[in-house]
Chain A
């Protein structure tokens, strides 16, 4: 059963606190992604990971960092969260970055930074 999981599903933090969002996949996919989705802006790519310890900035990496120590697990870290990082965060995975590679999305994490 192909699945992408995300934890936690909902999170409330205060400005300046550290945030850790976790993502897992059971499909042995090489490539994993972190997006954020905001009304009117659509899905924006934060980071892409091509495999363990092979990460690349996306379109909006400022204020975020990632960690991928195992192929099935990809973390997004916010050091000192800001209120403008309130958003819905989606993790996704794909077999590779081939043009037909479908992206499978997790259920999302709704983060509120107060």
Chain B
């Protein structure tokens, strides 16, 4: 079947980094997206990856390994405002819509 798995929670400290893991299974692969969702707000698009390897976007970087069905979102130089839920999503089998993971809640402490 198709699915996206993420850990529920992740705690880190301001100024350090956090790595949010995502594993997925799909019939065919059409790219993976990351969204940020702050408490009580809508998801906001962060990044899209379709090629293997690391994609450095500054504060946010993403890694993808298609052979392992694995991606991570790397948040560097963490700030308190980075505290949010981070959602991983892949295209479904028909490519028509996204299948979202349940999200990883990242808590950044001073």
Choose among A4, A33, A45, A90 the residue with the greatest number of B CB atoms under 10 Å from its CB: A45
A97 with B95: CB separation less than 8 A: yes
Which of B41, B48, B102 has a CB less than 8 Å from the CB of A42?
B102
Chain B interface size range: 20 to 34
A99 with B50: CB separation less than 8 A: yes
Which of A58, A99, A100, A105 has a CB less than 8 Å from the CB of B43?
A105
B98 with A107: CB separation less than 8 A: no
Q: Flag B20-53 by CB within 8 Å of A: 1 or 0 each.
A: 0000000000110100000001111100101000
- CB of B75 within 8 Å of the partner chain: no
A99 with B91: CB separation less than 8 A: yes
B97 with A58: CB separation less than 8 A: yes
Chain B residues within 8 Å of A102, by CB: 33, 45, 48
Choose among A58, A104, A105, A107 the residue with the greatest number of B CB atoms under 10 Å from its CB: A105
Known A90-B42, A102-B48; contact A43-B100, beta-carbon cutoff 8 A: yes
- CB of A106 within 8 Å of the partner chain: yes
Which of B42, B87, B95 has a CB less than 8 Å from the CB of A99?
B95
- CB of B96 within 8 Å of the partner chain: yes
Q: Flag A79-114 by CB within 8 Å of B: 1 or 0 each.
A: 000000000001000000101101111111000000
| Chain B interface residues toward A at CB < 8 A | 30-31, 33, 41-45, 48, 50, 87, 91, 95-98, 100-103
